[in-house]
Structure 1
Amino acid sequence: MRIDRIHHVAYRCKDAKETVEWYQRMLKMDFVLAIAEDLVPSTKEPDPYMHIFLDAGGGNVLAFFELPTKPPMGRDPNTPSWVQHIALRVADRDTLLAYKAHLEAEGVSVLGTTDHGAFHSIYFFDPNGHRLELACPDPDEAALLQRMDAVKWQMLEDWSATKRAPRHADFLHRREFAQ
């Protein structure tokens, strides 16, 4: 048995139409499907909803639910806003910078560009308060990911034992690419 890919990832939105229009305008994502019901198919609960689906490229789908009968959306007060986010990949740094300029021209506050070693990112929020990240590969991505792959299990073991950040992948931020 093996997972083929993510079918879709779903989040809540405040307004389905506003969300579709924002993702179309800001991220150039196509609106691919809408489902609206008065009864939740899995639980049979009477709860009207609008479920929208957006094309995130490469067979990936980002979906949202508008739930008009539920209390307003909130965030987990114990989780920092930078933790829970949706990260979308773009082809290269030029595309990343073009998106940054486009978003800022549309009035969206953008944080970054942030160099994560193997990739570079910008961060911003959608109208629902969901943090988004656009990321592009670093030119040395393949070599860096190979080095990171070699230390991932030891990093996880060390973290599990100490709950302190292990230093096995410090090379990412020091940009030391010794061969």
Structure 2
Amino acid sequence: MKIDRIHHVAYRCRDAKETVLWYQKMLKMDFVLAIAEDRVPSTKEPDPYMHIFLDAGNGNVLAFFELPTRPEMGRDANTPAWVQHIAFKVKDRDELMAFKAHLEANGVDVLGPTDHGAFHSIYFFDPNGHRLELACPDPDEAAILQKLDAVKWDMLEEWSQTRRAPKHADFLHKREFEQ
């Protein structure tokens, strides 16, 4: 047995229509479908919802639930805002920078680009407070990923024993932290 791929990833939103329109305008995603029910099919509990689906490219689907009868959505106060995020791949650095300009021209605060070695990223928030990342491959992506692949198990083992950051992949961000 093996997983084929992610069918969809679902998050909560404050306003389904606002979310669809924002993702269409800011990230050029197509609105695929909507499902609305008064009961949750899996649990049968009464809980009206709107479930929207967006095309995130290459068969990837991003979905949201609007839950009007539930308390206002929040986030885990013990988890920093930079941890939980959705990352989308874009073709190259030119496209990454075009998205950055497009987002900023539409009033979105954008952080980056950040050089992660194998890829480069920008970060921003959607209107629901979800952190998003757009990432493009580095020209040396294959070589860098090969180096990372060679040390992944050693890094994981060292981390599991010490809970301190292993230094096997320091080369990724060394330049940024030395500036």
- For the aligned pair, the TM-score class normalised by the smaller chain equals over 0.9
TM superposition outliers: structure 1 runs of 4+ over 6 Å? none
- For 1:68 and 1:164, the matched residues in 2 are separated by 43
* Superimposed CA distance per residue, residues 68-119 of structure 1 (whole angstroms, 9 cap, x where no aligned partner): 0000000100000000000000000000000000000000000000000000
Q: CA deviation at 1:174?
A: 4.0
- For 1:138 and 1:18, the matched residues in 2 are separated by 33
* Superimposed CA distance per residue, residues 147-179 of structure 1 (whole angstroms, 9 cap, x where no aligned partner): 10110000000000000000101122247xxxx
> 1:148 is aligned with what amino acid?
L
Q: CA deviation at 1:42?
A: 0.3
Which segments of 5 or more consecutive residues in structure 2 lack a partner in the other structure?
none
Aligned to 2:19: 19
- For 2:13 and 2:151, the matched residues in 1 are separated by 38
Identity fraction in percent? 84
Question: Structure 2 length as normaliser, TM-score?
Answer: 0.96
> 1:57 is aligned with what amino acid?
G
Aligned to 2:148: 148
- For 2:66 and 2:36, the matched residues in 1 are separated by 9
* Superimposed CA distance per residue, residues 15-69 of structure 1 (whole angstroms, 9 cap, x where no aligned partner): 0000000000000000001000001000000000000000000110000000000
Question: Structure 1 length as normaliser, TM-score?
Answer: 0.96
> 2:93 is aligned with what amino acid?
R
Which segments of 5 or more consecutive residues in structure 1 lack a partner in the other structure?
none
Aligned to 1:35: 35
Q: CA deviation at 1:135?
A: 0.3
Aligned to 2:122: 122
Answering whether residue 93 of structure 2 is matched by residue 90 of structure 1, we say no
Q: Secondary structure at the match of 2:50?
A: strand
